[in-house]
Structure 1
Amino acid sequence: MDLFKRTLDAADRIVVVDQEAYEMYADLVDESKLRTIPLGVDPDVFEYSEPDDSHELVAIGSLRERKGYDILIEALDQIQQEYPEVQLHVFGDGPQEDELVAQVKHLDLDENVTFHGYVDQSIVREHLSRARAFVHPSRSEGFSMVRLEAMSTGCPVVVTNVSGANEMVRDGEEGFVVPTEEPEPIADAVTTLLSDYELTKQISRQARDRVEEKYDWRKIAEEYLDLYRSLSG
């Protein structure tokens, strides 16, 4: 910790990605050193399209406990009772795969869940472009690029309230922010979207607008250039 503090003291500027990180570092260094610049996404790569009136859900990430897929599968068990045709597409691999497959079988959700493994990003983008929602049930997370990528495509997001979540996704505007470890709020948010296509389209557009306003990588690059120029002056 002592070395870390000396490193911070020696820095001319310290860049943090969100307000939560800013507040943490503000306890360690003078706030005049701090600058908040989020990470960004390329909206030309993750192109916007209005979501289909589908019952498809997408989840992306490594299959490990921290990502909360077991909670998502419990939520899906509730969702399919109201929407038996719901389809969850899971992209990623990892050490929890066998356990999650067994959970799906135990809950008799084989017809509702597809584990795609690791695939090319173009396939993921194709699924995001037509999905009703992107669901990200992580128990913990840093700055989540995959949430931004989903928002950029216009896919409404249902995300857990981990670090920086409420700053990226305003609950009820670009998607829904739900507690960690609880399947019922995930199920409620997803069924809200499935039951209201007009709301889905509204949130889709607002998600894309949020990316263009705050997380376009070109604007982020300009902020870094401004920062470097201020240091060299």
Structure 2
Amino acid sequence: MITSANFPPEEGIGNFIYNMSKEFIRKGNQVTIITRGSSSKIKEEDFEGIRLYRVPFFPLYPIHVQIHGIFVKKLFSSIQSDFDVIHFHTPLPSPLKTNLPTITTVHTPMKTDTAKVELVNPFSVAVKLQGKISCLIESKLFKISDKITSVASSVSQELGEYGLNPNDVEVIGNGVDEKLFCPIKNKTNEKYILYTGRLSYRKGLFDFIECGVNICSRYPDINFKLTGKGPLFEKLKKIVQESGYENRFEFLGHVEKSKLIELYQNATIFVLPSHYEGLPTTLLEAMSCGLPVVATAVSGNLDVIESGENGILVPLKSPDKMAEAVSSLLDDENLRTELGIAARKTIEEKFTWDAISNKILDCYSSIV
């Protein structure tokens, strides 16, 4: 597998690749990952049974991918005889010319990713400009791929902008470790609404805070917890301070996995207010822990939630509707329980790593 994601995995894409690799190994396959490294030399290591190559990466924008690609191609030419399939993971792995079967999994198309960037500072302007080059690299990657897959139906549709037929892009979904992220019987007494994820503009967190202030004004025993880092950390804290409900919101920053699982397991409701997603890992984690969820009706959320059956979907950028949905759950313990049970069942049936890895192995078989 060829990727730009960090190892050990720090977020969604790296987590996806790591868990797929572990499943492939468990099922009797050998896995090699080529990713970016911080050294000026190629380094090889064993990472939990995965053969891992860290290839030099220099952030010389906008030609960083091309420079990194020189090192990747040099390494690949010396080891490609070891492989049966090459699997690229976006964003921006280095395209390679090879006669081996190739597959690309798209987590978020660069055209969509770039379009969603809000021009709020010089860095965001640079990202917009870099996006044009990134889209060309991504288009080249699609042309050399024998099969293209995506993590969500919405992502498949977005690939139509590259001239691809969305019906030819197989949706494989995303996964979660249902054994780690599982419900518990005895929760703590604290009632709180949980958000987990990056604190960035596209996550809809201004809507979440507005919803939270609404709830705080009517439910004196409900608190809000947010995990994660990002550019909005201080701005969101300031908004909360000005609301007069500072003592009801807790910004936890980055939390370790064991703490994150505890937060899910003891939460009352999980809210995902995003304006855009692929198929969010955090949503699957919350549902796997048996939480009732409220999420915006966008992107991959629509692949997972059937509103009123295993969660509640609300319109995009609608904090009032979000607050109504949260209120309906706070007022009805039976509804919370029913949606939580159905959410867990959805994960067990469709979104375990075992199920997702089988889909990918089937894709490999179709092109080998």
Q: Give the TM-score, by structure 1 length.
A: 0.90
Task: Give the aligned partner of residue 142 of structure 2.
Answer: 8
8 Å contact kept, 2:287–2:343: yes
Change (3 A) 1:2 1:101: closer
Q: Give the TM-score, by structure 2 length.
A: 0.59
1:23 to 157, 162, 167: 157
Moved more, 43-52 or 143-152: 43-52
* Cα offset, 1:142, TM superposition: 2.3
8 Å contact kept, 2:154–2:278: no
8 Å contact kept, 1:50–1:129: no
Task: Give the aligned partner of residue 292 of structure 2.
Answer: 156
* Cα offset, 1:161, TM superposition: 2.1
Change (3 A) 1:50 1:208: farther
Q: How much is the aligned-residue C-alpha RMSD, in angstroms?
A: 2.2
Task: Give the aligned partner of residue 90 of structure 1.
Answer: 226
* Cα offset, 1:30, TM superposition: 5.1
| 2:255 counterpart of 1:119 | yes
Change (3 A) 1:80 1:222: same
Q: What does 1:32-181 align with in structure 2 at a 5 Å threshold? A: 33-49=168-184, 52=187, 55-181=191-317
Task: Give the aligned partner of residue 43 of structure 2.
Answer: none
1:89-137 CA-to-partner distances (Å, cap 9, x unmatched) read 1111222222211211111112211111111121111111121111111
Cα distance in 2 for partners of 1:12, 1:51 equals 49
Change (3 A) 1:83 1:18: same
Q: Secondary structure at the match of 1:163?
A: coil
8 Å contact kept, 1:55–1:194: no
Change (3 A) 1:33 1:132: same
> Which letter maps to 2:147?
R
| 2:340 counterpart of 1:204 | yes
Q: Secondary structure at the match of 1:111?
A: helix
Moved more, 197-206 or 4-13: 4-13
Cα distance in 1 for partners of 2:139, 2:237 equals 45
Question: Relative contact order: is structure 1 or structure 2 higher (C-alpha 8 Å, sep ≥ 6)?
Answer: 1
Cα distance in 1 for partners of 2:216, 2:185 equals 24
| 2:352 counterpart of 1:216 | yes
1:30-72 CA-to-partner distances (Å, cap 9, x unmatched) read 5674322111111011113358586311111222222222211
Task: Give the aligned partner of residue 185 of structure 1.
Answer: 321
Cα distance in 1 for partners of 2:248, 2:147 equals 49
8 Å contact kept, 2:211–2:320: yes
Cα distance in 2 for partners of 1:141, 1:96 equals 17
Moved more, 1-10 or 165-174: 1-10
**What percent of counterpart residues are identical?**
31
1:184-205 CA-to-partner distances (Å, cap 9, x unmatched) read 1111111111111111010001
| Structure 2 unaligned regions, length at least 5 | 1-134
> Which letter maps to 1:170?
E
* Cα offset, 1:178, TM superposition: 1.2
| Structure 1 unaligned regions, length at least 5 | none
Q: Secondary structure at the match of 2:313?
A: strand
